[in-house]
Every structure is written in structure tokens, then in C-alpha cells.
Amino acid sequence: MIYRLSTALGKKIKESPERCYVEAAIPYLDWSAHLFVAWRIQYILLANTSTLYSIIMPAIGIVDFSTFILAANRQIAEFTTADGLGLIHTRIIAPNLASRYSPKR
């Protein structure tokens, strides 16, 4: 999985977003993430970079890259299954969760 972090999200989880990424071989494994505030509550917008399939999740409790990865992976699994895309998650996304790329520091 590749997670492309915005500057705002990188600052929150204390990761330096890398500006140059290698494209994922499989488009379903490439996600962009951005932190935004609505009604004084922080949220994270996860969007598949190729398809623009988007997920909004609360940013509460996400304090570092590890908690971000766990929450993002859980939300991707829940939303794809609920939207009838569980087969894509089971066959393509889930087997590749172990090969995570984090931004270089």
C-alpha cells in the first residue's frame, strides 16, 4: 500500500510527506490522505489516487503513522465491503497490506 500524505496530515502524525512517489503497480493500492476540519472536528479524507473512491474518517486518536495505518486499513476494509467491493478488498488490497510504504523522513 502507498499512502500519500498531505502536509497537514503529515504534521499531525509527525511524518514528513515525500514529494516523489513510485506509482503502485496495482492502482487499488495507491491512496492519498488529507486532514481537514469541519465544525471544529478533525477528519481524514482517504481517496484512491486512480479511481477517486473516497472515504471520510474521524481523526480522533490518530497520533502517529502506526495508528493512521491501522485506522485507514480498517476503514478501507469496512467501506469497500459495505459498498459491495469486498471482492476487490479480499483479493487485491488485503494481501498487500503487509507491503506498506511510509513517507521517508
32-64 pLDDT per residue, tens? 999 999 999 999 999 999 999 999 999 999 999
More confident residue, 105 or 35: 35
Mean pLDDT of the chain: 86
* Confidence band of 102 (pLDDT split at 50, 70, 90): very low
Domain ranges of the chain: 2-96
More confident residue, 105 or 69: 69
**Helix, strand or coil, per DSSP, at residue 3:** strand
pLDDT, residue 103, reads 47
